[in-house]
Amino acid sequence: AQSVTQLGSHVSVSEGALVLLRCNYSSSVPPYLFWYVQYPNQGLQLLLKYTSAATLVKGINGFEAEFKKSETSFHLTKPSAHMSDAAEYFCAVSFTGGGNKLTFGTGTQLKVEL
């Protein structure tokens, strides 16, 4: 079975500081990995996805994530936080033959302070 663990349910950074949101996965087969963002009262929007091509994946809004098989991690980063980045972020996993079924982590609420 596949699962993801997001370390830190709440992360607070200053505007302009590095954003690092952690995600570790568990999968018995090569995974596909995703980061989604959810703004209040809205649905989820895809930030980026890893599908076994390049291990460093660039997404929208300046975010990127690196797939590290040895560490079973897929952490999300952004060099400089902006106030508009404040939202909830979800890591998710699926796998080949899984029917595109996503298993989500519990989410990390990002707060950006002045």
Partner 1 sequence: EAGVVQSPRYKIIEKKQPVAFWCNPISGHNTLYWYLQNLGQGPELLIRYENEEAVDDSQLPKDRFSAERLKGVDSTLKIQPAELGDSAVYLCASSLGLNSDTQYFGPGTRLTVL
Task: Kindly list the distances between the CA atom of residue 75 and the CA atoms of 40, 48, 85, 92, 108, in Å, as whole numbers in the listed order.
Answer: 22, 11, 16, 12, 12
How do the residues of the chain divide into helix, strand and coil, expressed in percent and rounded to 5?
5, 55, 40
Contact with partner 1 (CB under 8 A): which of 83, 96, 111, 113?
96
Question: Can you tell me which of 45, 55, 61, 80 binds partner 1, judged by CB under 8 A?
Answer: 45
Q: Which of residues 51-80 bind partner 1 (CB under 8 A)?
A: 51
Binding partner 1 by CB under 8 A: which of 7, 20, 46, 54?
Answer: 46
Q: Does residue 28 bind partner 1 (CB under 8 A)?
A: no
* Residue ranges in contact with partner 1 by CB under 8 A: 9, 32, 36, 41-46, 49, 51, 90, 92, 94, 96-102, 104-107
